[in-house]
Structure 1
Amino acid sequence: MIRIGGFLLITLIAIMMATGVASLLYSNELSRLRATVSHGSLVAELDVGPVEYADSGAGIPLLSIHGAGGGFDQGLALAADLVGGGFRVIAPSRFGYLRTPVPQDPSAIAQADAHSALLSKLNVPKAVVVGVSAGARSAVELALRHPDKVAALILVVPALYSPTSPVSTDIGRGNKFAFWAVNAGGDFAWWAAETIAPSILIRFVGVRPALVAAAPQAEKDRIASFVKSVEPLSLRVAGLKIDSAPQSYELPLQEITAPTIIISARDDLFNTLPSAEFAASRIHGARLVVFDTGGHLLVGRVQAVRKAIRAFLAGAGLTPSG
């Protein structure tokens, strides 16, 4: 993978913008991506406002709460990768993502209340709840505020509170460019970086590029698909800005009663391991699974994660169909 500094990348993007070929390729790709996310979801009218969601499959209900840069599409993909089949997957787009607008109160508490209201709207009394990265915040709030809705709690690379070492990311030149693209809501900038220097975006999503370079082709494809899933960036930037603020306060995690499993990796560039360890120490009976390598996207660990989660669910009496 090509390594290019932020200034040089911006220069190359400017050159690409000046060429008709790049403009045509970008225009076609953006149209395709916008068409993709315009299908496969519904919009529920809740008290908090409209909430987009997908409802797919059959079996035990599973609420898949995506991380930063996501939407219902990422929620579906994460459930398939990390949990596997045999579930009815309900995947909402959180506030500011795709067709879910930002309400007056976009907090994790309000998001949790929206999750609960969505389950009630769909006549789902209780669900397995999966919260990934920034999605772990509203997953935890759901378990605290609406414990009757949560059959089991699965937190993957959780961007939660840690008293000693908060979730963060380095501000190198590549990440400065990626932050600029996000703050600008720049669809073209993200697409161009993905085309010219994907290693910049791989690092931005919390994974060392060398780890991906050494991975099997199937994992390379999965990571590339995840990076692409952030597009169109302009339809997700409002949610990204909400998620960019770290969780700076401690929650009464000891009050969570749902069976819980927490998964992280030591080399996660977002530094989620301390928050995972802290949450596991506070939630009674929580199981903590830590991988030495894998980064924020758990490169090379998907099968092991799925095996651990399904064993955990079976132990909680939640064996999926099929």
Structure 2
Amino acid sequence: MVHGSGGGHDQGMDWARPLTRQGMRVIAMSRFGYLRTPRPADASPEAQADAHVCLLDALGIGKAAVVGVSAGATSALQMALRHPGRISALVLVVPIAWKPGSVVDSAPPVSDEKDAWLLRLLGSDFLYWTGLQVARDPVFRHVLATPPKLIHAASPQEQTRVHAMAERVLPVSKRALGLRDDTRLGKRLGPLALETIPVPTLVISARDDGFGTYAGAEYTASRIPGARFIGYMDGGHLLVGRDEAVRDAIVDWLRSANPQ
């Protein structure tokens, strides 16, 4: 389970806990710069992918399904490219992924000015906590890339889930190094040899994701042989209202790829 921006092993396990109730064993780590995982000089998605494989080695696991969420999808993809023999299935959820310039995105690109504002907010426990207390809707819209109106209209169970995700980012200071890398990640991506990936792949996104993952997700799925794409009209980056359907789709995909 490769967590997204603002995460760590805690976010990864929270996200994947429903899979454990389906009898699946989940391994959740903290990526470079998150919680107690140091950030090395080379913190690229390629280096992170190699570190994921080292983790499997340390645990004595030869092959595993890999789920990458948001910014975590970049190193999950690199695992499939660099170490395909170690992956039984690949799932990319609202992935930060490259797309050709000719592909029209569903969201405007994030400006450098907004990047700088986000980095200030995401570097301070006090500022982020204050934002949650006095301006939670803007935090959902600009930091978590999800339309607040979807959250207000969601079921009590869904509201509890997404508010817990927002609060789980604290202490943000323990995640700041990783967040800084992730905030600018989309501007550093380039094309990948997706057509060479031999791993059964499922890609999921929502058209109104404020980070604009829909176009890149759809393109990625179109280039990986045999991949399946699930695109929702709404849900935002947190896939509000889609949680149960997304988990069911992932469970079905993983079981079909690993019938034993």
User: Residues 174, 243 of structure 1: CA spacing in aligned structure 2 closer, same or farther, 3 A cutoff?
Assistant: closer
Q: In the alignment, does 2:157 pair up with 1:223?
A: no
Partner of residue 236, structure 1: 175
Q: In the alignment, does 2:218 pair up with 1:277?
A: yes
Shift of 1:84: 5.0
Partner of residue 206, structure 1: 145
Q: 2:90 aligns with which of 140, 143, 153?
A: 153
Give 3-state SS (helix, strand or coil) of 1:93's partner: coil
Tell me the distance in 1 between the aligned counterparts of 2:224 and 2:93.
15
Q: Deviations over 1:249-277 (max 9, x none)?
A: 11101111110000000111111011111
User: In angstroms, what is the RMSD of aligned CA positions?
Assistant: 2.1
Partner of residue 196, structure 1: 134
Q: In the alignment, does 2:52 pair up with 1:115?
A: yes
Q: 1:250 aligns with which of 167, 191, 196?
A: 191
Which one has a larger percent strand, Structure 1 or Structure 2? Answer: 1
Tell me the distance in 1 between the aligned counterparts of 2:212 and 2:18.
22
Partner of residue 44, structure 1: none
Tell me the distance in 1 between the aligned counterparts of 2:136 and 2:89.
36
Give 3-state SS (helix, strand or coil) of 1:89's partner: coil
Give 3-state SS (helix, strand or coil) of 2:230's partner: strand
Tell me the distance in 2 between the aligned counterparts of 1:265 and 1:315.
24
Residues 127 and 151, structure 1, Cα contact 8 Å, conserved in 2 = yes
Is the radius of gyration larger for structure 1 or structure 2? 1
Partner of residue 35, structure 2: 98
Residues 73 and 93, structure 2, Cα contact 8 Å, conserved in 1 = yes
Q: With the length of structure 1 as denominator, give the TM-score of the two structures.
A: 0.75
Tell me the distance in 1 between the aligned counterparts of 2:75 and 2:158.
28
User: Residues 83, 141 of structure 1: CA spacing in aligned structure 2 closer, same or farther, 3 A cutoff?
Assistant: farther
Which letter does structure 1 place at the counterpart of 2:121? A
Q: Deviations over 1:134-176 (max 9, x none)?
A: 00000000011111110100000000101135686556x9987
Shift of 1:318: 4.1
Q: 1:289 aligns with which of 212, 217, 230?
A: 230
Q: In the alignment, does 2:24 pair up with 1:87?
A: yes
Q: With the length of structure 2 as denominator, give the TM-score of the two structures.
A: 0.92
Which letter does structure 1 place at the counterpart of 2:138? I
Query: Among the aligned pairs, what percent are the same residue?
Result: 46
Give 3-state SS (helix, strand or coil) of 1:92's partner: coil
Give 3-state SS (helix, strand or coil) of 2:236's partner: coil
Residues 91 and 203, structure 2, Cα contact 8 Å, conserved in 1 = yes
Give 3-state SS (helix, strand or coil) of 1:91's partner: coil
Q: Deviations over 1:269-301 (max 9, x none)?
A: 111011111101110000000111111010000
Which letter does structure 2 place at the counterpart of 1:207? T
User: Residues 234, 273 of structure 1: CA spacing in aligned structure 2 closer, same or farther, 3 A cutoff?
Assistant: same
- RCO (CA 8 Å, sep 6+): is it higher in 1 or 2? 2
Shift of 1:312: 1.5
